[in-house]
Structure 1
Amino acid sequence: MRRLHLEILAGLIAGGVLLIFFMQAMGYRGGSGMMPRSVLILALALTAIWIFQSGLGLRRHAGSPIQWNQFAIWRFVALFGGTAIAVMGISTLGYFTSAAIILPLVAMAIGYRRPLPIVIATVAFVAVLFSVFHLLLNIPLPPEAILSIGS
């Protein structure tokens, strides 16, 4: 299988999943549906561009064969697994706590080894998330394990 064929297949699958999510988000009432619909429209547009570019690449040349290596497979498994764990963790640990745990673990799993930049990026990301959702938009999120320490 060629890389471009895999990209088109992945883009079509991702586009189908995004359409299903968009249809679900259409049922949200009031302002609560604006953010998911906006993000999904953007994701659908990016997916369409991805499929289009891969299709153009197929017209120009056959594309390179896929060369599998252990690091690429491990990186995919780490990202996919990290995303699944993060989604499950949001409901049990909370949004910010899950991000604080998963971000450094996934960063290390895909090859980042310097701890200081990982810690700085994680703290900055969680601070921005907290500032936007809790302080700026005042959106209620699931209870947080981090914010309930000491209470």
Structure 2
Amino acid sequence: METRINVFEKGQKALGTLFGISAHLKKSGLEKSLIDLVDFRVSQINSCAYCLDMHSKEALAAGETPQRLFGLSAWRETPFYTPKERAALAWAEAVTACNVPDEIYAEAKTQFSDEELIDLTLAITTINTWNRMNLAFPNNVGSYRVGQFG
């Protein structure tokens, strides 16, 4: 089996665009904790082990609780998430599935301004892209260090 390219070594020019989006999102009005939850949930859906490792470490280092991370795949059945987080998670699942029903849009609009919803969608599409890059060009799962990519 041929060794796959290391996207972080060979893809710096292309990946720079994704890092630029991440820089924009850090300056947006979205809470880092919310983006961390969305990144983790989307990575669960996409079965991206590298991103799950990365985002669990980042979220825990930022003060997220293990209980909320462990319960994330069953967020609808748990009392651990705020209405805003629930709207974001439903939006993330719908956008990831490329099927956004009107009721999910309506709920998201009760929690997010137009600009915030656009930024949230950008965050979701970005983590979906990262997941696909890491699935196509696997990295050493477990090797991520908190803050490694800024």
Q: Answer 1 or 2: higher relative contact order, Cα 8 Å, separation at least 6.
A: 2
Q: Which has the higher helix share?
A: 1
Work out whether the TM-score is over 0.5: no
Structure-2-length-normalised TM-score:
0.29
Structure-1-length-normalised TM-score:
0.29
